[in-house]
A and B are shown apart, each in its own frame.
Chain A
Amino acid sequence: MSEPDFLATQATREEGLDRTGPYLSVDNLTVRFPTADGTVQAVTDLSYSLELGGTLGIVGESGSGKSVSSMAIMGLHDMRRTEMSGSIRVGGREVIGLSNNQLQELRGGEVAMIFQDPLTSLHPFYSIGAQIAEAYRAHNKVSKAKAKAKAVEMLDRVGIPQARSRVDDYPHQFSGGMRQRAMIAMALSNDPKLLIADEPTTALDVTVQAQILDLLQDLQRDFNSAIIIITHDLGVVAEMADQVLVMYAGQAVEHGPCKELLVHPEMPYTWGLLSSVPDVTASTEARLLPIPGNPPSLLHPPDGCPFHPRCTHRDKVPGDLCRTELPLLVQGKRGPEHLKRCHLADPDMIYATEVLPEIAPDLVDLVLGDGIEGSHSAGATGPDEGRG
């Protein structure tokens, strides 16, 4: 978040509402779960913002804090077992500290969420229509008949054929893709301004994945909602997002406009993610390089940069810096839009000369050529891609 913006929100915080800032703004969010074994540091000092109509992709491995941070936006954590600090503002309203009743209004109303596995996320004992109608009636005082009509309308809207007759079906009578469509219909039934999609395509067939992503994009155009798409699939990010946030061990490690970040990644963890993506059109010389090791325990995160135990480039940093000091999330050489958390002095050069030739040799020239212009264009991203 830029300096003047921050001051402006400080000034208006007393009133509780700040209509001028971005629709969603997360500042220094820290989420911790005290357990018998110690405190799980699920999310640490996370900040980002999102405008209406914009799409943020949050990428990371399991346990990187991407779902935890998004559930915090809806106040879905059990506050008796969660320590949360920082600020989450939705439409100018601070979410942390809202009462249960206020949170209920927010959940499914202004902010809606769709989940990874639509089969387990829908109640097996209630019909699809009843579950959508219930979501609608939670936020609109209408009769059951009207709510059911709304359910039919929503199912129709998300492309369920014969919605009128299928509205009474149970989740197990739907296919995987149809169930996810039904979940989307349920989430959108109250015209939410923010839709959080937590790995919405992970449990689906590849062909169905594309349909669901198309549907989300269509609906976003119609409703002008903001979307957070949580995924570990960089293909989904490339397709959907205009901003990307890469998370590792509960922290943001790289953040920037989608194309910029995917073409010029500056953090070895992002390189690792890119190296793990198979590309069907790439030459056969391209190799898949998994990131060595496992994500760190969030009970005892490593000192310094949390990624250093798995980082293959840490020798390039002088001294013991990676092991001893947490790098700040700051802009690199590519302009203020692109933030990275890494000690490497010249990551672009290392990526272009060492990483890229291994994973996508045919792209080296493109990246090197673009790199020269990139420093100019990065500063000139349009307002719709900007960070508010």
Chain B
Amino acid sequence: MFGYVIRRLVSGFLVLIATSVAVFALFFYGPTDPALAYCPETRCTPERLELIRDSLGLERPVVQQYGDYMKGIVAGNDFEAGSIVIPCDAPCLGVSFKLRVNVTDYLLERFPATLSLALGGAAIFLPMGLTMGVFAARRRGTFSDKAIVSSALVINAIPYYLLALLAYLYLISAWEVFPESGYFPLLEDGPVAWAKGLLLAWVMLGIAYSTQYARFSRGSMIESMGEDYVRTARAKGLSDRVVTFKHALRSAIVPVVTIFGLDFAYLIAGTFFTEKIFGIQGIGLTALDAIFTKDLPLISATVLIGATFIVAANIIVDVVYSMIDPRVRL
């Protein structure tokens, strides 16, 4: 198991290196010039453009820029521009082109919003989806099963951004059923303000994901309820409840755990639509803004962080899997 985790960490590290190279390549060999984004269209002379490139450090060879970037992550890399010095300790993810701030600190500041959103959403969709899935599986073929499956399909068929946007427009702006959304730090503004600001975003994430989890866990549950060992459990004289939860659900939950691990990693890497629509200043919204302003350090930082979460989630899921299923030896 220890050796397995080490091997996975090494390969995960290689994935992250490859990701960072890909981000640099896309950025520098893509069709747009980052410096143009900071050069006002009407007064953009070649000299001015050159100056901007120089101040952003873009005139150096790409390989050297990449080397500096990597060095910053490992050892820190204070940024100097004229008289201003922006300190950047390891892990230094660079200094934002546009905001002129330390990206690491900036993202750390934004992360609680995204984490709050993800945790709250997961706290709704995981139990809700599982409950609906198990309920539907136990009543397979009945009206309640069909009602759950078809409403899940309908909700899944509507694009999430549309659903979330409509919810925002009607439930917050027009009818004011829900309080105005936004992120209010838990420790500073207190739990009530924190929860009020995120409430509808949580509900929307909960609805969108729980329908998927309901369908998924229903299928998994139906499969495991048909297993021979569930028949054995019934033949032992166990109650319906014990058969369902201790025997059938125990194995049905394994694929759900796998999917959840990855979904949660995606969520904490930043939820673009949810953060944008509900105005929550998290990682997703930061990444979105960075793409529009061609802010390389910010873009590559959000991509790298996202990749790190996903790589880590994969390893964690495998380890958890080996703890759930005694047949799996890592």
Contacts and interface: CB of A to CB of B under 8 A. Distances in A.
A binds B: yes
A287 interface: no
Interface in A75-126: 76, 100, 104-109, 112-113, 115, 117, 120-125
B236 A121 contact: no
Contacts of B325: 124-125
B235 interface: yes
A76 B234 contact: yes
A117 B324 CA distance: 23
A120 B235 contact: no
B250 interface: yes
Interface string B289-330: 000000000000000000000000000000000001111000
B251 interface: yes
A108 B236 CA distance: 4
B46 interface: no
A328 B64 CA distance: 94
Given A170-B327, A172-B326, A124 B236 contact: no
Interface of B: 227-229, 231-240, 247, 250-251, 324-327
Interface in A322-370: none
Contacts of A107: 234-237
A135 interface: yes
What 8 pairs between A and B have smallest CB-CB spacing? A108-B237, A107-B237, A120-B228, A108-B236, A123-B229, A135-B236, A121-B228, A170-B326
B330 to A, nearest CB: 15
A74 interface: yes
A74 B237 CA distance: 9
Contacts of B232: 115, 121-123, 183, 186
Contacts of B229: 120-124
A113 B229 CA distance: 12
B231 A123 contact: no
A135 B251 contact: no
A52 interface: no
A139 interface: yes
A293 to B, nearest CB: 29
A191 interface: no
A138 interface: yes
Interface of A: 74, 76, 100, 104-109, 112-113, 115, 117, 120-125, 127, 134-135, 138-139, 170, 172, 183, 186
A117 B228 contact: yes
Given A115-B231, A170-B327, A186-B232, 14 more contacts: A76-B231, A100-B240, A104-B239, A106-B237, A107-B235, A108-B238, A109-B237, A115-B235, A120-B227, A123-B247, A134-B236, A134-B238, A139-B237, A183-B232
B228 A115 contact: yes
A119 B325 CA distance: 15
Given A100-B240, A104-B238, A125 B233 contact: no
5 contacts: A108-B236, A112-B235, A121-B229, A125-B324, A127-B326
A248 B239 CA distance: 34
A166 to B, nearest CB: 14
Nearest to A136: B236
A124 B251 CA distance: 9
A36 to B, nearest CB: 10
Nearest to B326: A170
A117 B240 CA distance: 23
A122 B326 CA distance: 13
Contacts of A108: 235-238
A120 B240 CA distance: 20
Given A117-B228, A121-B229, A121-B231, A138 B236 contact: yes
Nearest to B238: A138
Contacts of A109: 237
A120 B232 CA distance: 9
A123 B235 contact: no
Contacts of A105: 237
B143 to A, nearest CB: 13
A120 B251 CA distance: 13
A105 to B, nearest CB: 7
Contacts of A123: 229, 232-233, 247, 250-251
Nearest to A104: B237
Nearest to B248: A123
Q: Among the interface residues B229, B235, B238, B251, which one has the most CB atoms of the partner chain A within 10 A?
A: B235
Contact of B235 (A76, A117, A124, A134): A76
Contacts of A125: 250-251, 324-326
A115 B238 CA distance: 17
A364 B237 CA distance: 49
